[in-house]
Amino acid sequence: MTPILFYGVPSGCSFGSIVALEWLGLPYRLCRIEMPEVVSSAAYRRINPVGETPTLLTSDGRTVSESLAILNHLLQAAQPGGRFAPGRPAFDHLNQMLAFLNTSYFGAFAPLWYAYETQGDAFSTQALRAYGTEQVAQAHAHLNTLIGTGPWLLGEERSLADAYLAGIARWTTYHDVGGLSPYPALEALYQRLQDDPAVRFAHAVERQEEARTTGGFLGEVSLTQALAELA
């Protein structure tokens, strides 16, 4: 079967998995999951019991959740024995970067999401926003150092870490926590990613605008259709 990526809107971290699928050229379909309503439903929990996106329904009918696991699954499926094969230095470098993005960077936004999604009093909201803003600034400074002369996160070659970064870094604008200008290497990378056809495609998919694939996108399926295939 053709794999299905369950992606979350609005502004889910699944964005990076869409970009990765496009870059790798694998055939795939998409299933749109509204957050928080559908993602927490009993129907979707059959796909991911944790009630989160992304999840990948693989070509052999298994579900794989967690961005790191999905990105590694896709990479090994598309390029078995390639530069990023397990055991190679590039594999460790990629996973180190993905882990930083998936823990330190992703986690830095947690207080901002909490403040955004809950109706706290003004004092709590201000405290959460101040903490989140500081955490995000620290993560941006670290990323700017890690990029070095880049131009990509891992150096001269683009990797799936850049795909994942594209989905998380846009939250800076979403939460209005200052621009990326104090971090020139990061800002340049972010801007380069905005011009990428796969990133443009992922934005268009999320906004339900006309989306032109440069990869192997084969269309959207509903959750009902996807569940029928799972069965």
Residues in contact with ligand GSH by the rule CB under 6 A: 8, 12-13, 35-36, 39-40, 52-54, 66-67, 102
Residue 172 Cβ vs ligand GSH, minimum distance, rounded to whole Å: 15
**Smallest distance, Å, CB 149 to ligand GSH?**
28
Q: How far is the CB of 71 from ligand GSH (least distance, A)?
A: 9
CB of 24 to ligand GSH, least distance (A): 18
Torsion angle, CA of 227/55/206/100, rounded to 10 degrees?
Answer: 170
Least separation in angstroms between residue 187's CB and ligand GSH is 23
DSSP secondary structure, the chain, as one string: ---EEEEEETT-TTHHHHHHHHHHT-EEEEEEEETTTTTTSHHHHTT-TT--S-EEE-TTS-EEESHHHHHHHHHHHHSTTSTT-TTSHHHHHHHHHHHHIIIIIHHHTHHHHHHHHS---HHHHHHHHHHHHHHHHHHHHHHHHHHTT-SBTTBSS--HHHHHHHHHHTHHHHTT---STT-HHHHHHHHHHHTSHHHHHHHHHHHT-----SSEEEEE--HHHHHHHH-
Question: Given the complex with ligand GSH, which of 35 and 154 has the nearer CB atom?
Answer: 35
Query: Among residues 39 and 161, whose Cβ is nearest to ligand GSH?
Result: 39
Counting Cα atoms < 13 Å in the Cβ hemisphere of 151 gives 7
Residue among 39 and 189 whose Cβ is closer to ligand GSH? 39
Nearer to ligand GSH among residue 7 and residue 217 (C-beta): 7
Least distance in angstroms from the C-beta of 184 to ligand GSH: 27
- Nearest approach in angstroms of CB 31 to ligand GSH is 13
Closer CB to ligand GSH, 33 or 154, in the complex: 33
Nearer to ligand GSH, 48 or 185 (CB): 48
Cβ nearer to ligand GSH, comparing 16 with 215: 16
Taking Cα atoms as reference points, which of 65, 71, 63, 66 lies closest to residue 95? 71
